[in-house]
Amino acid sequence: MGSVQWTLLLLMVVSICNVHVRASDPPLTLDYYKKTCPTVLELVRKEMECAVLSDPRNAALILRLHFHDCFVQGCDGSVLLDDTIDLQGEKEAPNNKNALKGFRIIDKIKNLLESECPGIVSCADILTVAARDAVLLVGGPYWDVPLGRKDSKTAGYELSSTLPTAADGLLSIISKFMEQGLSVTDMVALSGAHTIGMARCVNFRDRIYGDYALTSEVNPISEAYLQNLRSSCPPAGGEDNRESAMDYVTPELFDNSYFQILLRGQGLINSDQELYSSILGIETKRLVQNYAENPPAFFEQFSESMVKMGNITNPETYVDGEVRRNCRFVNT
């Protein structure tokens, strides 16, 4: 067995042994706001319905915000903090800049809840519930969201470098998820979130001018799609922020077509196609095939993995956390 295979085997072992290192049992409950703000779920759902009705792409924006929050310091609302004289937020970190939107949606929900239940519902909980509702409103599964997170008074600008990127290879992707206590199965299922949302040209340029033609099926439809991508994303410089859907079949519907696209070798970004095409991806390839053929299996695992990711909390917030009055700023 070569060194690369040994590395992958080691990562798999660590995944099995440490799956609960970060995603452990936090002090969260399903009825946390039952007495203090009983209408919280109804109010978040109503605002998310308005946001998704006005633009279905808002669902992907909120889901991405939640992901980027939980992977840095845990699900503590740190991604929502603006830069101030005393605090460097995460929004301008290289892996977040130009990639995150939807902050105003969370602001609107927070303002509504502050009027209804002042000082009660954390921004971290709002974002977690909003992400669940975002998925549900575009056709995805429902899951119960444990609540009781506190908001962080700090942000993790430097830690944002640990976020998975479009250029990551399979081993890098696996290791970044395992650092959060998430397994290979969690990683593949959560990657299915790319069935909604867009990618910027800067994140798929290398792919469409690199090995895309090698992994994709050779037929007129595939070739026309590749030419369309190249026409909107030139090979060198310019148009970095032009966007294309990561699931070009049903870009505004949460379903399993993302995995079917990977089977055809047409994943838009490298880190997605690696799940199926990497020679090291024996387990990930099997999972992609299963989710492509079995939508209920994907929905069930996605729900389970989202709860697990949402349970990655920041222990410091239970010592020195707060419920922010404004999600963009620490309380004064």
Query: Catalytic residue numbers?
Result: 68
Give the separation between CA 145 and CA 148, rounded to whole angstroms.
10
Cβ neighbours of 268 (radius 10 Å): 24
* b/e per residue 202-215 (b: at least 16 CB within 10 A): ebbbebbbeebeeb
Dihedrals phi, psi of 32, to nearest 5 degrees: -55, -40
Residues 102 and 168: beta-carbon distance below 8 Å: no
Dihedrals phi, psi of 200, to nearest 5 degrees: -85, 150
Dihedrals phi, psi of 277, to nearest 5 degrees: -95, -15
Place of tokens 């989710």: 291
Give the separation between CA 175 and CA 165, rounded to whole angstroms.
12
Cβ neighbours of 81 (radius 10 Å): 27
Give the separation between CA 70 and CA 291, rounded to whole angstroms.
24
